[in-house]
Structure 1
Amino acid sequence: MAEEHKSHRKERHKQKHKGHGMGTRGVSRPMAEMQMMRGQQKDKDDQDKEQKQDHGKHKMTREQREQMLHMHHIQTLWVYWMIVMLGVWMILSPLTFSYGKATVMPSGGREVWLSMAERVMAMKWSDIISGLLLIYFGWRSLTPNRPVSVWICCFIGIWISIAPLLFWAPNAGAYINGTLVGALVIALTILIPGMPNMIMYMKMGGQVPAGWSYNPSSWPQRWIMIALGFVGWMVSRYLGAFQLGYIDHAWDPFFGEGTRKVLNSNMSHSWPISDGAFGALAYTFEFLMGWMGSPSRWRTMPWMVTLFGILVIPLGLVHIFLVISQPVMVGEWCTLCLLAAAIMLPMIPLEFDEVVAMGQHMVRAKKRGENLWKVFWKGSEPEEYNQDERSPKLIDLPKKPMKIFKASIWGMSFPWTLVVSTLLGLWLMFSPSVFGVGIAASAADINHLGGALIVVVSVICMGEVIRRGRYFNILLGLTVAIIPWFLQDSNLALNISGVVTGLIVAALAIPAGPKTETYGLWDKYVK
């Protein structure tokens, strides 16, 4: 009986970890998480014992990892054949669809750094050379354990995505071919099969950061980022298509010719490339990076979380600031530009928690005496070997969309103080028009910028890990309340509105609001 009971326990343990194959080794598929979470529920005592067994089990030998790498390569061999075929596609594209036909000039009479003939030639040879390189390095990647070749293919995909912007693709065919094939190559190299050779060094283990009440890298948490990134990509691509000359009209439902004037303004023309198309490129990378890695990527891929954080947080803030400065610099509003900024804004607090979790892991690794450079690039062991049992499965999205949505915004709460501050910021943005103050007036600039910045601060600080940033609203509120009184082009009604609104915003910045989750070492900063 004892032997039979022991055999039964081993079988249950085996079934529980049946999904710990490629799904937890960087293969960016929500289905991988399903496999990993399979298994029977056990009592807490049994779980504690088996977690220790898991730790030992995950200590694979180099031979085991090499065998697993070889098996995985066989399963994903089609990926590298696809890269070779895309190389052929890129070579033939400029020869099949002549880039010299149906050429267009950028909108608004913008001057570019290449002549039309040079633009056609640059795109043609860029695609041909990129195709040849994809064939060569894709062919090399057919052999297992050649991560450098795979990474080179990835960077070729990045270049293919950038080339249409840099060379001002002379027609829409060249642009859409480069941006789509580039994204596809990136997906085929580092998303579908996972990070090259990550099996050889990935540290297995827990998914929830120590002291945290949820996993900021779970698929529900990333789903909303992926969705927002895709929508932002589509909006920015439309703006870029107008600037590049592929469409003749920029639609704007609220501000008439405002979008066209903004996109053709001196502010926009000061960029060496189309700023709309550049936004589309940034959103493309954000969309793709949302799929990268397993639900443990906050500790297994710190470098990737860092890059994703840079794309979303500082570059996102720059993007938002450029948009909200349009009424000041250009004297016009742009509906689709505001929409693109509105899409980016919630992505900042939604990503901030993952960056914090990664930073905490690096701090703990340093305290353990680990090499931070190695941890940054290859990850390290978790402090706790706990699985994420709280996050719902992404496959349930069609049946339980609200449950998935709620899980996607864990880490954000919505204190009434910040919600009201957001609404007051919106009021300030449009109050000059209500009180008859022209958009070119200095008083209008104060309200436009001050109101927009209040909205930005309020929404970002709905993320609990950055709740302290709400104190910026005190400064912004006082600025809006005081500065217009010293300007000659304001009026009494706008000044009174600014005083009342600004003081309320400043007062609302004092309460911290509720804290709904725990954040390990970061808890002491959530005040």
Structure 2
Amino acid sequence: MLLSPLTFSYAKGTVDPSGGRDLWLSLEQRIQFMKWSDILSGLGLIFFGWRSLTPNRPISLWICCFIGIWLSIAPVLFWSPTAAGYLNNTLIGMLVISLTILIPGMPNMIMYMKMGSEIPPGWSYNPSSWPQRWIMIVLAFAGWGVSRYLGAFQLGYIDHAWDPFFGEGTRQVLNSKMSHSLFISDGAMGALAYTFEFLMGFMGSPSRWRTMPWMVAVFGILVIPLGLVHIFLVISQPVMVGAWCTFCLLAAAIMLPMIPLEADEVVAMFQHMKQAKKRGDNLWEVFWKGGKPFEMNKDERSPTLMQFPQMPGKVYKASIWGMSFPWTLTVSTLIGLALMFAPGLLGFDIQATPSDIFHLSGALIVVVSVICMGEVLRFGRYLNILLGLVVAVGPWLVNSENLMLNIIGTLAGLLVAALAMPRGPKTENYGFWDKYVK
């Protein structure tokens, strides 16, 4: 990193972001900020890397880790003027994080990890097992690839954003006022978030719901609330921009199943914290150091990832324990998809208010239905009742002249509302959370 500004001149072959976007930094500032960021980061890695060669210096290792995080953020924040700077920073940033806290393990974390249960008390499976995390890692990597492509266009490293279905839709979305309202590239920001999700999938032992509550909480924040924000921004595109973006939809589709897949681990962590509070433990210490276990058990149900080549089906099934697919939610998902694209397919004005109701409500029905396939979030399906009524009544209230569209909305909306009533199967046990699976 120290030699990067000499190896890759950030002042030669510079590019401007797509769509004539106004940046918060001038070109000269972008060049200088990237140069000094690399130099200072390189010096920091040399010094604290040297200090960390001596055992039991976790602070130096964590500082190196945060330098790696900064290197991943800097080219996005400073709108790296060259693709070489972006590539160099993001790849070295990931390597630094991996070499400080992933490959060697968390610094001194073994001192805090108490021996105990691998399966949460009252649960029928381990939500932190490697099969459960494997699918999250794969999804995060796929999302990283898609978002990196979108970010490369916005940052100006490529001249064209290909869209197989909506023609110029991707360019319209990525260069829209909604996108330009952010001071950084939303595509590159998505790639940054997926980078951290991918790396955090490897962090911790198969008991991390108990031994590392802080890490599960951070991972849950990245996946659930920030994932929902990402999805809502994507589904608002036809309303705010008047166009669809295939790869934006693909990124949202990758993020969507990650939410129910991660929710069970967050619930298990929350259960451990609640039990620790009831026992009178110091919650601050439990949050950062895990605390004492409540049971002693072994996870004898989860297959190992080494079995994947011989038994891919078994490992895949273990990766989606905690999710079930009731026919009611499956049909609601299909109806939601149909509502999203119905105005365009039927030849109606996709920028009219009734079409906006179809776009937004249909997308939200899909989001709610897929998320509630996670059994710990099954109670959220009742939101589909409200969304169904909006689709059934909304087009009539805005004085739509498209009678056929109104009738389609009424039938589809009432059907979605009715399908939200049955709970569907409950295939696993979730300790104290069982009473909320209803």
Q: Once structures 1 and 2 are overlaid, which stretch shifts more, 455-464 or 395-404? A: 395-404
Q: Secondary structure at the match of 2:2?
A: helix
The correspondence for 2:315, drawn from 400, 404, 415, is 404
State the structure with more CA Rg: 1
- The residue identity in structure 2 corresponding to 1:156 is I
Task: Give the equivalent residue in structure 2 for 1:521.
Answer: 432
The correspondence for 2:203, drawn from 273, 292, 314, is 292
The correspondence for 1:122, drawn from 29, 33, 56, is 33
**Residue pairs, 1:305-344, within 5 angstroms:** 305-344=216-255
Task: Give the equivalent residue in structure 2 for 1:352.
Answer: 263
The correspondence for 1:154, drawn from 59, 65, 78, is 65
Distance in structure 2 (CA, Å) of the matches to 1:434 and 1:496:
16
> Does the 8 Å CA contact 2:147/2:251 hold for their aligned counterparts?
yes
The correspondence for 1:185, drawn from 89, 93, 96, is 96
Task: Give the equivalent residue in structure 2 for 1:216.
Answer: 127
Q: Secondary structure at the match of 1:91?
A: coil
Q: Once structures 1 and 2 are overlaid, which stretch shifts more, 181-190 or 476-485? A: 181-190
Q: Secondary structure at the match of 1:103?
A: coil
> Does the 8 Å CA contact 2:170/2:245 hold for their aligned counterparts?
yes
Cα displacement string for residues 385-429 of structure 1 (whole angstroms, at most 9, x for unaligned residues):
111000000011122111111100000000000000000000100
Distance in structure 2 (CA, Å) of the matches to 1:353 and 1:154:
28
Percent identity over the alignment is 77
Deviation at 1:384, TM superposition (A): 1.5
Structure 1 runs (4+) deviating above 6 angstroms are none
Deviation at 1:199, TM superposition (A): 1.9
- TM-score norm. by structure 1 comes to 0.83
Q: Secondary structure at the match of 1:390?
A: coil
Cα displacement string for residues 77-99 of structure 1 (whole angstroms, at most 9, x for unaligned residues):
xxxxxxxxxxxxx0111101111
> Does the 8 Å CA contact 1:99/1:120 hold for their aligned counterparts?
yes
**Residue pairs, 1:476-515, within 5 angstroms:** 476-515=387-426
Distance in structure 1 (CA, Å) of the matches to 2:34 and 2:2:
11
The correspondence for 1:427, drawn from 307, 326, 338, is 338
- The residue identity in structure 1 corresponding to 2:109 is M
> Does the 8 Å CA contact 2:116/2:294 hold for their aligned counterparts?
no
Task: Give the equivalent residue in structure 2 for 1:42.
Answer: none
- The residue identity in structure 2 corresponding to 1:180 is L
The correspondence for 1:475, drawn from 373, 386, 407, is 386
Distance in structure 2 (CA, Å) of the matches to 1:490 and 1:258:
27
Q: Give structure 2 stretches of 5+ with no counterpart.
A: none
Distance in structure 2 (CA, Å) of the matches to 1:490 and 1:112:
43
Cα displacement string for residues 18-73 of structure 1 (whole angstroms, at most 9, x for unaligned residues):
xxxxxxxxxxxxxxxxxxxxxxxxxxxxxxxxxxxxxxxxxxxxxxxxxxxxxxxx
Distance in structure 2 (CA, Å) of the matches to 1:490 and 1:383:
63
Q: Once structures 1 and 2 are overlaid, which stretch shifts more, 377-386 or 343-352? A: 377-386
**Residue pairs, 1:77-476, within 5 angstroms:** 90-476=1-387
**Structure 2 vs 1, CA of residues 395 and 131 (structure 1 numbering), >3 Å: closer, same or farther?**
same
- The residue identity in structure 1 corresponding to 2:303 is P
- The residue identity in structure 2 corresponding to 1:313 is I
Distance in structure 1 (CA, Å) of the matches to 2:59 and 2:401:
62
Deviation at 1:206, TM superposition (A): 1.4
Q: Give structure 1 stretches of 5+ with no counterpart.
A: 1-89
Cα displacement string for residues 201-233 of structure 1 (whole angstroms, at most 9, x for unaligned residues):
211121000000000000000000000000000
Distance in structure 2 (CA, Å) of the matches to 1:151 and 1:276:
28
Distance in structure 1 (CA, Å) of the matches to 2:13 and 2:399:
52
> Does the 8 Å CA contact 1:437/1:490 hold for their aligned counterparts?
no
- The residue identity in structure 2 corresponding to 1:208 is I
Distance in structure 2 (CA, Å) of the matches to 1:439 and 1:381:
57
Q: Secondary structure at the match of 1:514?
A: coil
Distance in structure 2 (CA, Å) of the matches to 1:435 and 1:280:
35
Deviation at 1:490, TM superposition (A): 4.5
Distance in structure 2 (CA, Å) of the matches to 1:231 and 1:382:
35
- TM-score norm. by structure 2 comes to 0.99
Distance in structure 2 (CA, Å) of the matches to 1:434 and 1:171:
41
Deviation at 1:367, TM superposition (A): 1.1
Cα root mean square deviation, aligned = 0.7
Q: Secondary structure at the match of 2:336?
A: helix
Cα displacement string for residues 452-511 of structure 1 (whole angstroms, at most 9, x for unaligned residues):
000000000000001000000000000000010122344011100000000000000000
Q: Secondary structure at the match of 1:104?
A: coil
Q: Secondary structure at the match of 2:318?
A: helix
Deviation at 1:133, TM superposition (A): 0.3
